[in-house]
Amino acid sequence: MTLFDGIYPFYPQQRKAAVFDISTIIVIVVFLTLACCFLLIIPGIRGRARLYWTVRVLLSLFVGVVIVVVQFTGDWETGWVQANTSYKSFSPAQVNADIGLHIGLAGVNITLRGNPVQQINETINYNEHFPWNFGADYDHSYSEGLEKGLPSPILYVAEKFTVQSPCAVHRQYRIAGHYASAMLWVAFCTWIISNILFSMPVLIYGGYMLLVTGAFMIFSLLSFSTVRNSPMCLIQIGTRTLHVAYGGSFWLMVAVGKNIRMPQITSLCPSGCTRVPVLPSQVGSAEPQPTFFDLREDKAEEYQEMPEVFINPHFVNEDLSPSQPSESN
């Protein structure tokens, strides 16, 4: 190992994407494959049921992919700042760069992108991942970054989340992310059960399990929100301060979890004697439940009106003559 101007050189390394990584891509590809397989068989469904099946399956797959994919994204909390800062330790060289902080359930991503990218004869475009999920050692990853000679802004921001940092936010983020991830896996299991019940179809229990799915998604948000109970240290870069706010994954979970609600509408019972929870897209339409769940054809014979028939009046009223037929419904 040699020194360059008294500074350890930078070595190429495998970098993790700030928002989309290989795990996210795999999850999306799997769910897209399921969607494409369903679209291949959809021409075999007759009538209006084809449209209802398409809406049901695609909405369900969207909920499922959101539950899984947000566990691998790194934008539950994000923050950006543009500042003039030192690029290397013990060097007076200053660069103008965008510094980004992306916090996920399993770790933190720190990005450094120069404005322009080519400055001081180097390409300034870094993205480093420091995991804190159970089984990973955040301080060890930080030590490896020191050994690699990462740029000073990345090491400065990463140091705020170490175990020994005066900020003392490492344990709070680690525990909150762990429990939020666990609740999302439970939500994924209940999502699978709800789809099984809807396909049987057992609508009332499927609706209850969908309600449980939304509840656990909200619980995961509440779990992650507990990190705000710990005051965040100021991240001062040059003359600017980096502030973090809830990111895209958090608000996507809010939108999906909030809209999985169960309004009450009339069930299959023709007299309205039973009510079951259903999706919001079914509300407001005439007899939405049997149509949306493709049950109209199965129940048609049960609820159809009696046809007109002619009966022998001799068995109804013996006073009438058999030659005088009577028409009855």
Instruction: With a cut of 60, say whether residue 207 has pLDDT above it.
Output: yes
pLDDT, residue 268, reads 32
Highest mean pLDDT among 42-56, 93-107, 225-239, 265-279 belongs to 93-107
Average pLDDT score over the chain: 76
Q: Apex CA 218: angle with CA 214 and CA 223, to 5°? A: 145
Higher pLDDT, 323 or 260: 260
Q: Cα(229)–Cα(235) distance, rounded to whole angstroms?
A: 18
Share of the chain above pLDDT 90, in %: 19
Q: How many CB atoms lie within 10 A of CB 308?
A: 8
Tokens of 125: 């475009």
Q: Please state, in angstroms and as integers, the Cα–Cα distance from residue 225 to each residue in 23, 173, 245, 254, following that order.
A: 24, 10, 11, 12
pLDDT, residue 93, reads 80
Q: Please state, in angstroms and as integers, the Cα–Cα distance from residue 35 to each residue in 31, 123, 146, following that order.
A: 6, 41, 45
How would you class 97 by CB atoms within 10 Å of its CB: exposed for 0-12, middle for 13-18, buried for 19 or more? buried
Name the β-bridge partners of 112. Answer: 99, 126
> Per-residue pLDDT averaged across 21-30, rounded?
82
pLDDT, residue 169, reads 86
pLDDT, residue 265, reads 31
Report the candidate in 165, 99, 87 with the shortest Cα–Cα distance to residue 132.
165
Collect all residues with Cβ–Cβ distance below 8 Å to 131 and sequence separation of at least 6.
Answer: 106, 107, 138, 141
Instruction: With a cut of 80, say whether residue 167 has pLDDT above it.
Output: yes
- Kindly report whether the global pTM for this prediction surpasses the value 0.85: no
> Per-residue pLDDT averaged across 220-245, rounded?
85
Confidence of residue 291 (pLDDT cuts 50, 70, 90): low
Q: Cα(52)–Cα(279) distance, rounded to whole angstroms?
A: 12
Report the candidate in 226, 284, 211, 177 with the shortest Cα–Cα distance to residue 63.
211
Least confident of 135-149, 172-186, 243-257, 258-272: 258-272
Instruction: With a cut of 60, say whether residue 50 has pLDDT above it.
Output: yes
Confidence of residue 34 (pLDDT cuts 50, 70, 90): confident
> Per-residue pLDDT averaged across 199-219, rounded?
86
Highest mean pLDDT among 20-24, 253-257, 269-273, 274-278 belongs to 253-257
Instruction: With a cut of 90, say whether residue 216 has pLDDT above it.
Output: yes
Least confident of 11-15, 199-203, 320-324: 11-15
Number of H helices, E strands in the chain: 9, 11
Residue 277 backbone dihedrals phi, psi, to 5 degrees: -80, 140
Report the candidate in 162, 6, 11, 149 with the shortest Cα–Cα distance to residue 91.
6
